[in-house]
Structure 1
Amino acid sequence: MELVSVAALSENYVIGQDGEIPWHSIPEDKKQYRGRIANDPVILGRKTFDSMRADLPGSAQIVLSRSQQAFDVDTAHHARDVEEAIDIAESLDSETVYVIGGGKIYDLFQPHLDRMVLSRVPGTYEGDSFYPEWNDDEWRLESETPYEQFTLQEWVRIDGE
């Protein structure tokens, strides 16, 4: 199983402010993001899960939460910690599982990731949620695709090759 994080982040690693993205919506990014994660399980925090309830992503949602133990969604699974989330993901027998946030979830899973697919939004923004910085010695930029309002980068962990 490959563990891949997917995020949109600014030049100063901001991913959110008060539960929202701090830049204007980028439809082209949203389309590629939703298409990428549509048919695979996703790992996310409870706040991110709650913010997406109207249109849940992925084929299954593995929700990390210390407080809420059950969810009224058939495809949602509760996990208490990273190890339990990975165990659940492996039990779903999918080749790829996506980590989709928020900031604390990205930080917890960073040491376990095989790849990062990052939409790099130009500019710096005020925010209260950040994507974790990474050590360039541990990652290789495999591809970079420019779009009108963002650049899509795919990073591969070097020790995972």
Structure 2
Amino acid sequence: MELVSVAALTDDRVIGKEGELPWPSIPADKRQYRARIADAPVILGRRTFDSMRDDLPGAAQIVLSRSEGSFDVDTAHHAGSVDEAVGIAERIGGDAAYVIGGAGIYELFQPHLDRMFLSRVPGEYDGDAYYPAFDEAEWTLVSETEYEEFTLEEWVRDGSPD
């Protein structure tokens, strides 16, 4: 199973401010993001899960949290570690599991990722949550798709299956 990170970020890696996106909504980015993860398990932190409860993404949600063991959502699963989250994703099945945040979850999974889809949002925005820095020498940028309000980059870790 491939581990894939999906995030929207600025050039200085800002992904959020006070639990929200710091830039105005970008409908085209939300559409491509939702379509990409629709039929797959997603891995996310508890705060990100709570912020999305009204419109949960993915076919199943694997919530990585030290504190909460169960959720009142049939498709949600608790995981206490990266290994446990990956194990749950493998049991659910599919070709990929998508890591969708927040900042701490991206940081935990960065060494384990095979692929990243990064929506680069132009401009400068004040933020308090950042996508982790990564060594571009370990990755290959395999595609860039220009949209009116962002650029979608696809990165593959060198040595990962294409």
TM bucket (normalised to shorter chain) is over 0.9
CA distance in 2, matches of 1:127, 1:55: 24
So what's the TM-score if we normalise by structure 1? Answer: 0.98
- Is residue 2:54 matched to residue 1:54? yes
For the residue of structure 1 that corresponds to 2:94, the secondary structure is coil
For residues 98-137 of structure 1, what are the structure 2 equivalents within 5 Å? 98-137=98-137
TM-score by length of 2: 0.98
Q: What's the Cα RMSD here?
A: 0.6
Greater CA deviation, 88-97 or 53-62? 88-97
Task: Report what 1:4 is aligned to.
Answer: 4
Deviation at 1:68, TM superposition (A): 0.9
CA distances 1:49-93 after superposition (whole Å, capped 9, x unpaired)? 000000000000000011111000000000001011011111111
Q: What SS does structure 2 have at the residue aligned with 1:142?
A: strand
How many residues are matched? 161
Partner of 1:158: 158
Structure 2 residue identity aligned to 1:106: Y
Give the aligned residue type for 1:99: V
Residue aligned with 1:105, SS = helix
Secondary structure of residue in 2 paired with 1:22: coil
1:124 is displaced (CA, Å) by 1.9
Question: Tell me, which stretches of 5 or more residues in structure 2 are unaligned?
Answer: none
Report what 1:76 is aligned to: 76
**Cα distance between partner residues in 2 of 1:87 and 1:39:** 18
5+ long unaligned stretches in structure 1: none
Give the secondary structure class of the aligned counterpart of 2:106.
helix
Q: How far off is 1:159 after superposition?
A: 2.2
Percent identical among aligned pairs is 67
Q: List, as ranges, runs of 4+ consecutive aligned residues in structure 1 with deviation greater than 4 Å.
A: none
Cα deviation per residue 1:113-132 (whole Å; 9 max; x = unaligned)? 00000000001211111100
Do structure 1's residue 148 and structure 2's residue 138 form an aligned pair? no
Partner Cα distance (1:42, 1:122) in 2: 26
For residue 159 of structure 2, give the secondary structure of its aligned residue in structure 1: helix
Give the letter aligned to residue 47 of structure 1: R
Q: What secondary structure is seen at the aligned counterpart in 2 of 1:160? A: coil
Q: Residue 3 of structure 1: SS of its match in structure 2?
A: strand
Query: Which residue does the alignment assign to 1:89?
Result: 89
| Aligned mates of 1:47, 1:146 — CA distance in 2 | 31
- CA deviation profile, 1:93-149 (whole Å, cap 9, x unmatched): 111110000000000000000000000000121111110011011000000000000
Aligned to 2:15: 15
